[in-house]
A = this chain, B = another copy of it.
């Protein structure tokens, strides 16, 4: 990650002068505000602002259920109850605003989560920096042979070296040409909105991204998952660490009921019942396809 000296000074200034507020304050998140968490080779995630905390989730739920919620002994119990029964609206009452620097091909996956607010750096308006994501050698993976949408073994030796050479050289050449085309020295200079089309998808962009806790957890469930592409997963994991400090009770319930849990089909529930009665169930007698059976065996351990 490369923060300019100017950016670093700005962050320090923002962190230097706390002001009094009457709003809900999350001490865990205050500790992270503005600080850039490095991700990949040039990327980062910075918390710009947040609204609410675990108590805000509880407060919203108590508006809905009125006096009725008082019999749930404490905040943690209520948050677990809400998570277990898929009550989404109380979690929507917290909000997070991030500043993210990320490669364009990661941004293209990320933006498919539509329930969020985004202000992205405009390459129509401004000039992109010469910064490209080049994978670390150990992250250069072969195409998976069993999964069309996944990675297999790490590339080795000369093949790996050749890939890195290509990625670096093409990025450098494309950026040189980008600069050459937009230059107005001795020529008219191509419009930025056109010149940007010559930049490959590993160029870095940045944006402000704001979403509520419910949609954020949904994003993290999909993007911190083992099946997500590594390059977006590291962003999701970095954000997850911030969320754990922001709303620790919600995060714990999310880990237990979403991330570490499992969803079973009607067929799978039936198999569990048969197995608990002592029946030997095989893929053939399960009623599941091979793919389903493989996933089912991962659940039953």
Interface membership of A265, Cβ < 8 A: yes
Q: Mark A45-70, 1 if CB is under 8 A from B, else 0.
A: 00011111000100111011111100
Question: Is A174 at the interface (CB under 8 A from chain B)?
Answer: yes
State whether A64 touches B125 (Cβ < 8 A): yes
Interface 1/0 per residue, A71-100 and B, CB below 8 Å: 000000100110010100110110101010
Given contacts A18-B20, A276-B276, contact A103 B190 (CB under 8 A): no
Q: B residues within 8 A CB of A17?
A: 22
A 172-210 binary contact with B (CB < 8 Å = 1; else 0): 011001001110100111111110111111100011101
Q: CB within 8 Å of B: which of A114-149?
A: 114-115, 117-122, 124-127, 133, 135, 140-144, 148-149
The complex places the Cα of A214 from the Cα of B119 at a distance, in Å, of 13
- Which chain B positions have C-beta within 8 A of A163? 181, 190
Q: How many chain copies does the complex carry?
A: 4
* Interchain CB contact under 8 A, A208 and B63: yes
Asked if A285 is at the interface (CB within 8 A of a chain B CB), the reply is no
Q: Which residues of B contact A105 (CB under 8 A)?
A: 196-197
Please name all residues of chain B whose beta carbon is closer than 8 Å to the beta carbon of A22 when the two chains form the complex. 14-15, 17-19, 30, 33-34
User: Inside 8 A of A220's CB, which chain B residues have their CB?
Assistant: none
Within 8 A of B (CB), among A12-40: 14-15, 17-25, 30, 33-34
Known: A22-B14, A256-B266, A275-B276. Contact between A117 and B93, CB under 8 A?
yes
In the complex, how many angstroms separate the beta carbon of A291 from the nearest chain B beta carbon? Answer: 7
Contact between B198 and A140 (Cβ–Cβ < 8 Å)? no
Q: Which residues of the other chain, B, contact A266 by a CB distance below 8 angstroms?
A: 255-257, 259-261
B66 touching A121 by the CB < 8 A rule?
yes
Would A207 and B63 be within 8 Å (CB), given that A34-B22, A197-B201 are in contact? yes
The residues of B that contact A124 with a CB separation of less than 8 Å are 149, 229
Residues A180 and B166 in contact, CB atoms below 8 Å apart: yes
| Contact in complex: B190, A149 (CB < 8 Å) | no
Residues from chain B with Cβ under 8 Å of A198 in the complex: 166-167, 170, 200-202
The distance from the CB of A69 to the nearest CB of chain B, in whole angstroms, is 8
Chain B residue at smallest Cβ distance from A190? B163
Instruction: Say yes or no: B299 contacts A99, CB within 8 Å.
Output: no
List 30 contacting pairs A-B, 8 Å CB cutoff, sorted by A: A18-B22, A21-B21, A21-B25, A22-B33, A24-B49, A48-B59, A49-B52, A51-B51, A59-B208, A63-B120, A63-B121, A64-B121, A66-B126, A81-B291, A89-B118, A93-B97, A93-B208, A103-B197, A105-B197, A122-B149, A135-B194, A143-B188, A144-B191, A151-B191, A151-B193, A155-B188, A163-B181, A170-B170, A196-B201, A260-B269
